[in-house]
């Protein structure tokens, strides 16, 4: 066919850009979104994909089955997609550049033309210009029905090929043109269905992390990776300007991926080698061993000591010899306060099967200036006490099977503070601090030991009580330190006259009293559990925040604030600890989503049902603004988090609709969203300081309303404790936005005699009501402050007229 007769050649372009649509131009696949949320769901869709990969079903038949599961009228499907689909943010820029530079865009899709056209019109702000073409499947009526009726539409395939649309057929006439007439043909895609089309073009842009990259690498097909249309635009500009050849770009892309694969294989080999060597020679540092999983069962401690080292003494080493069985707790006993000296606890640990006849197993450890007394209890071991530095006394035994006993010490850790506690099962903090010198005594460095095998804790499953009630206690801004901590702005200055004020004991006494009086079914720790500035050992502070909950077997979920990771542990390190603690529901969340701690918790309905009655969404609101010049103050919920939240809410919706009783959604964050500042709204409670919400509004409040969140609760601003009602465009109540109120005496207070407080949410699932109130540390300690109903009949309730 002559070039002049081909539709995309009418402007005589130098480049034609062919592209897939779903997952390439859009951030997610529109068909998958409909199937997962309006059809039979993600699990069955994945089963269909697997059948195609295994060759037991054609793509054409599998895809038709998936779309046939969608009974929603076609016009409603379109509206759903308009509301939830997003374009790659750089595609719009590419679209305008291509029009200005005579580069036709041809969308070749396995989707449906009306869907793609509607999305382009909505997301580009109008109908696409004539330089953008769409070649895809169509939609037709099912059994003569109106397509806008329930079950009234089905897909009409473009051709009879395996995929229902052989994309290569559209490109072949252009690929067959003589060299002097043929333009450069480019293609962007992400899936296996793009392979046939890509083979006809000069350069393939393959989306990073998708199936197309794997197939191209295996088959040696040249390509270049892209993560967004930003890089596609830059490369296409260079090709059009003659700065680079397509052959060079493609080969460089393939070489990069191959190098990455080789590096990954090498890294896997090194990791395997290190693990093998570690089993034999202990080459990994003790800080890693402290978090090793259960396959390290069978290790017993045979000796414990304290070593000191100096940064100015070349003969002094702060690391154990890797050729020995000695490990080290990677915590400086001076908490990095020594100018040149450091001290560490070391312990020798061996596998039970490798114990020699001369080896002795540690069965007891005490800290004392004098020799500990011997027990007169029948059955207690009579071995002698052996002295080690730092006031450590060990009782060891060489008796056969001692390593199998629950008396055998199997792990050692170090915590700090006179109030140090260890919530881990099987662990015990020693009463006396290490007696190395006056500095370690002042810092209260304490040894914690574990006896027996590590206990794998089973995650709790929160459930509505048989009476239909469920109570959540929100602990906002505990601000716990390493050690007792200093009180800031305490009201009153002393809880008991003459006893002074120690921040953490007073905070935890308050929390303990309310735990016992209110008996909550679940606790949400909404950030700033750790006061990073005064928590030189963040683990010790974090342990204090949950010990009272573990002792009472109360499930809890935690997120972080802007102070938690200002100590010696990052957010991820803190969450790694939390995830393994008893009764913890906390999770790091998806790696591809910004932040640490984006997850949800389902509270099951009463009885034995496996259906959820409540869903709690918890999101990381980060810390300080990444752009202080433009948006001063604090960070905001990011687009990836909002995308995750909306997708998660959609994926859970069908399951929640199966529940025959009422279901409710709520959310917890640390830093308030900007709408907390709107003083035009009704609010009840204390507004004692300006809300320090982010300067940039990322739209999370709107997303919560769209997904049916009934209330959101935050912390951060310690002396604000109000609940504010937001209304929709019809002036109907749409969302309550509450503060928890500051709990901890280690954080700021003051502001006109503000008393520390805790917020509760009391659910009664029978009428679908939620009451919220606060309890005080001082003054009206028995009262439910500002008690009000915020949810009634499962919907947001406005204030009573008398309020």
Q: Which neighbouring-strand residues pair with 602?
A: 615
Active site residues: 20, 22
pLDDT at 314: 65
Distances (CA, A) of 271 to 281, 287, 299: 15, 17, 21
Cβ(59)–Cβ(52) below 8 Å = yes
Distances (CA, A) of 116 to 87, 311, 361, 446, 603: 11, 66, 70, 64, 38
Cβ(227)–Cβ(27) below 8 Å = no
pLDDT at 380: 58
Question: What tens digit of pLDDT does each residue of 763-801 get?
Answer: 999 999 999 999 999 999 999 999 999 999 999 999 987
Boundaries of CATH 2.100.10 in the chain?
286-451
Residue 524 has pLDDT above 70, yes or no: yes
pLDDT at 237: 94
Residue 52 has pLDDT above 80, yes or no: no
Residue 496 has pLDDT above 70, yes or no: yes
Residue 633 has pLDDT above 70, yes or no: yes
Euclidean distance between CA atoms 475 and 556, whole angstroms: 10
- Residue 38: how many other CB atoms lie within 10 Å: 19
Query: What token pair was written down for 476?
Result: 């906002």
Identify the three-state secondary structure at position 785.
strand
Distances (CA, A) of 767 to 123, 310, 467: 41, 67, 12
Query: What token pair was written down for 798?
Result: 């406005």
Query: What token pair was written down for 607?
Result: 């009885």
Q: pLDDT tier at 378 (50, 70, 90 boundaries)?
A: low
pLDDT at 281: 45
Neighbour-count burial of 463, counting CB atoms closer than 10 A to its CB (0-12 exposed, 13-18 middle, 19+ buried): buried
Q: pLDDT tier at 273 (50, 70, 90 boundaries)?
A: low
Residue 658 has pLDDT above 90, yes or no: no
Cβ(322)–Cβ(282) below 8 Å = yes
Boundaries of CATH 3.60.21.10 in the chain?
469-796
The most confident of the ranges 214-218, 321-325, 332-336, 480-484 is 480-484
Residue 109, sorted as left (phi over 0), alpha (psi -120 to 50) or beta, turns out to be beta
Phi, psi of 757 (to 5 degrees): -155, 165
DSSP structure string for 367-420: E-SSPPPPP-STT---PPEEEEGGGEEEEEE--TTGGGSTTSEEEEEEEESTT-
Selection from 374, 440, 362, 370 nearest residue 407 by Cα: 362
- The helix (run of H) or strand (run of E) holding residue 174 is helix 168-175
Euclidean distance between CA atoms 193 and 195, whole angstroms: 6
Residue 713 has pLDDT above 60, yes or no: yes
Euclidean distance between CA atoms 571 and 565, whole angstroms: 6
Q: pLDDT tier at 109 (50, 70, 90 boundaries)?
A: very high
Beta strand pairing call for 733-739 and 709-714:
parallel
Selection from 763, 750, 759 nearest residue 792 by Cα: 763
Question: What tens digit of pLDDT does each residue of 695-709 get?
Answer: 999 999 999 999 999
Q: pLDDT tier at 163 (50, 70, 90 boundaries)?
A: confident
Identify the three-state secondary structure at position 639.
helix
SS3 of 739-774: the string is ECCECCCCCCCCCCCCCCEEEEEEEECCCCEEEEEE
Residue 65 has pLDDT above 80, yes or no: yes
Euclidean distance between CA atoms 194 and 166, whole angstroms: 9
Selection from 721, 720, 634 nearest residue 673 by Cα: 634
Pick the more confident residue, 211 or 486.
Answer: 486
pLDDT at 495: 83
Mean pLDDT across the stretch 83-106? 93
Sheet with 341-351: strands ordered across: 299-310, 341-351, 326-328
Mean pLDDT across the stretch 607-615? 93
- The helix (run of H) or strand (run of E) holding residue 775 is strand 769-776
Of the given ranges (17-21, 43-47, 601-605, 714-718), which has the lowest mean pLDDT? Answer: 43-47
Residue 296 has pLDDT above 80, yes or no: no
Euclidean distance between CA atoms 712 and 714, whole angstroms: 7
Of the given ranges (62-66, 102-106, 572-576, 616-620), which has the lowest mean pLDDT? Answer: 62-66
CATH number of 469-796: 3.60.21.10
Pick the more confident residue, 744 or 495.
Answer: 744
Neighbour-count burial of 706, counting CB atoms closer than 10 A to its CB (0-12 exposed, 13-18 middle, 19+ buried): middle
DSSP structure string for 71-129: -S-HHHHHHHHHHH--B-TTHHHHHHHHHHTT--EEEEEEEEHHHHHHHHHHHTTSSPP
Q: Which neighbouring-strand residues pair with 762?
A: 471, 771
Euclidean distance between CA atoms 746 and 533, whole angstroms: 10
Largest CA distance in the chain: 105
Report cis status (omega within 30 of 0) of the bond before 492. Answer: yes
The most confident of the ranges 44-48, 91-95, 759-763 is 759-763
CB under 8 Å to 190, separation ≥6 — which residues? 20, 23, 24, 206, 207, 210, 211, 212
Euclidean distance between CA atoms 199 and 196, whole angstroms: 5
In the numeric block, the tokens 């260079």 are attached to: 238
Residue 270 has pLDDT above 70, yes or no: no
Residue 515 has pLDDT above 90, yes or no: yes
Euclidean distance between CA atoms 199 and 175, whole angstroms: 10
Mean pLDDT across the stretch 440-461? 86
Mean pLDDT across the chain, nearest whole number? 88
Euclidean distance between CA atoms 801 and 423, whole angstroms: 47
- Residue 132: how many other CB atoms lie within 10 Å: 18
Distances (CA, A) of 338 to 273, 433, 440: 37, 18, 11
Q: Which DSSP letter does residue 429 get?
A: E
Euclidean distance between CA atoms 550 and 584, whole angstroms: 8
Phi, psi of 400 (to 5 degrees): -60, 140
Euclidean distance between CA atoms 106 and 8, whole angstroms: 8
Matching CATH number, 3-261, of 3.30.365.10, 3.30.70.890, 3.40.50.1000, 3.90.79.10: 3.40.50.1000
Residue 290 has pLDDT above 80, yes or no: no
Neighbour-count burial of 516, counting CB atoms closer than 10 A to its CB (0-12 exposed, 13-18 middle, 19+ buried): exposed
Query: What token pair was written down for 740?
Result: 């928890």
Selection from 265, 235, 230 nearest residue 252 by Cα: 235
CB under 8 Å to 92, separation ≥6 — which residues? 124
Q: Which DSSP letter does residue 676 get?
A: G
Boundaries of CATH 3.40.50.1000 in the chain?
3-261
pLDDT at 669: 98
Euclidean distance between CA atoms 690 and 671, whole angstroms: 13
In the chain, the N- to C-terminal Cα span, in Å, equals 79
User: Domain 286-451, CATH 2.100.10 — does that match?
Assistant: yes
Q: pLDDT tier at 42 (50, 70, 90 boundaries)?
A: confident
Beta strand pairing call for 757-764 and 769-776:
antiparallel
State the angle between helix axes of 571-579 and 538-551 in degrees (0 to 180), rounded to the nearest 10.
30
Half-sphere exposure at residue 120, Cβ-oriented, CA atoms within 13 angstroms: 20
- Residue 730: how many other CB atoms lie within 10 Å: 6
pLDDT at 645: 97
Euclidean distance between CA atoms 280 and 277, whole angstroms: 5
Selection from 652, 618, 664 nearest residue 763 by Cα: 664
């Amino acid at each position: 066919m002559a070039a002049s007769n081909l539709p995309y050649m009418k402007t005589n372009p130098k480049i034609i850009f062919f592209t897939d649509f779903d997952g390439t131009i859009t951030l997610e696949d529109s068909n998958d979104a409909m199937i997962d949320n309006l059809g039979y769901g993600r699990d069955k869709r994945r089963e269909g994909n697997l059948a195609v990969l295994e060759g037991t079903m054609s793509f054409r038949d599998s895809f038709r089955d998936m779309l046939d599961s969608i009974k929603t009228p076609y016009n409603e499907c379109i509206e759903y997609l308009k509301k939830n689909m997003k374009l790659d943010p750089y595609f719009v820029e590419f679209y305008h550049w291509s029009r200005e530079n005579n580069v036709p865009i041809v969308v070749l899709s396995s989707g449906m033309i009306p869907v793609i056209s509607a999305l382009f019109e909505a997301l580009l702000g109008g109908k696409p210009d004539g330089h953008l073409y769409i070649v895809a499947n169509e939609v037709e009526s099912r059994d003569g029905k109106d397509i806008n009726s329930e079950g009234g539409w089905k897909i009409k395939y473009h051709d009879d090929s395996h995929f229902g649309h052989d994309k290569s057929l559209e490109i072949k006439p252009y690929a067959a043109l003589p060299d002097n007439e043929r333009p450069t043909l480019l293609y962007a895609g992400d899936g296996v269905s793009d392979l046939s089309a890509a083979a006809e073009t000069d350069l393939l842009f393959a989306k990073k992390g998708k199936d197309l990259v794997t197939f191209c690498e295996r088959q040696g097909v040249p390509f270049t990776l892209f993560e967004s249309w930003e890089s596609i635009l830059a490369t296409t500009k260079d090709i059009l300007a003659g700065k680079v050849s397509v052959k060079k770009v493609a080969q460089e892309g393939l070489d990069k991926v191959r190098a990455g694969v080789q590096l990954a294989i090498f890294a896997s080999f090194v990791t395997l080698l290190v693990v093998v060597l570690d089993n034999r020679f202990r080459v990994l540092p003790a800080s890693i061993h402290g978090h090793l999983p259960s396959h390290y069962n069978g290790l017993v401690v045979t000796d414990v000591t304290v070593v000191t080292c100096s940064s100015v003494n070349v003969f002094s080493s702060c690391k154990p010899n890797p050729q020995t069985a000695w490990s080290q707790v990677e915590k400086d006993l001076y908490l990095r306060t020594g100018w040149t000296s450091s001290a560490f606890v070391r312990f020798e640990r061996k596998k039970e099967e490798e114990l020699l006849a001369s080896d002795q197993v540690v069965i007891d450890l005490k800290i004392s200036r004098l020799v500990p007394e011997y027990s007169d209890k029948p059955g207690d071991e009579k071995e002698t006490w052996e002295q080690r530095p730092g006031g450590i006394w060990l009782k060891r035994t060489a008796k056969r099977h001692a390593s199998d006993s629950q008396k055998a010490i199997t792990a050692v850790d170090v915590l700090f503070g006179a109030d140090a506690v260890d919530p881990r099962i099987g662990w015990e903090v020693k009463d006396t601090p290490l007696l190395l010198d006056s500095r370690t005594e002042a810092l209260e460095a304490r040894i914690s030991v574990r006896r027996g095998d590590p206990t794998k804790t089973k995650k709790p499953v929160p459930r509505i009580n048989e009476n239909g009630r469920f109570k959540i206690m929100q602990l906002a801004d505990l601000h716990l330190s390493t050690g007792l901590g200093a009180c800031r702005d305490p009201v009153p200055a002393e809880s008991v006259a003459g006893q002074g004020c120690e921040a953490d004991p007073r905070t935890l006494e308050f929390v303990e009293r309310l735990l016992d009086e209110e008996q909550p079914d679940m606790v949400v720790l909404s950030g700033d559990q750790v006061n990073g500035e005064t928590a030189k050992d963040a683990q010790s502070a974090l342990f204090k925040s949950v010990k009272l909950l573990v002792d009472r077997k109360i499930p809890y979920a935690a997120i972080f604030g802007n102070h938690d990771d200002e100590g010696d542990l990052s957010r991820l390190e803190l969450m790694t600890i939390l995830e393994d603690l008893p009764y913890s529901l906390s999770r790091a969340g998806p790696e591809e989503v910004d932040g640490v701690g984006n997850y949800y918790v389902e509270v099951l309905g009463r009885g034995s049902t496996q259906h959820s009655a409540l869903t709690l969404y918890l999101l990381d609101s980060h810390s300080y603004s990444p752009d202080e010049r433009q948006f001063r103050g604090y960070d905001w919920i990011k687009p990836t988090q909002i995308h995750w939240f909306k997708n998660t809410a959609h994926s859970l919706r069908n399951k929640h609709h199966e529940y025959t009783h009422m279901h409710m959604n709520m959310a917890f964050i640390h830093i308030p969203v900007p709408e907390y500042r709107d003083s035009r709204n009704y609010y009840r409670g204390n507004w004692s300081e300006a809300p320090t919400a982010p300067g940039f509004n990322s739209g999370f409040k709107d997303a919560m309303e769209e997904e049916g969140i009934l209330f959101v609760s935050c912390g951060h601003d310690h002396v604000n404790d109000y609940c504010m009602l937001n209304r929709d465009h019809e002036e109907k109540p749409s969302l309550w936005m509450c503060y928890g109120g500051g709990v901890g005496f280690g954080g700021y207070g003051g502001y006109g005699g503000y008393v520390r407080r805790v917020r509760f949410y009391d659910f009664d699932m029978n009428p679908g009501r939620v009451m919220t109130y606060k309890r005080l540390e001082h003054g009206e300690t028995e009262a439910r402050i500002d008690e009000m109903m915020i949810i009634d009949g499962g919907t947001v309730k406005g204030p009573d007229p008398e309020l």
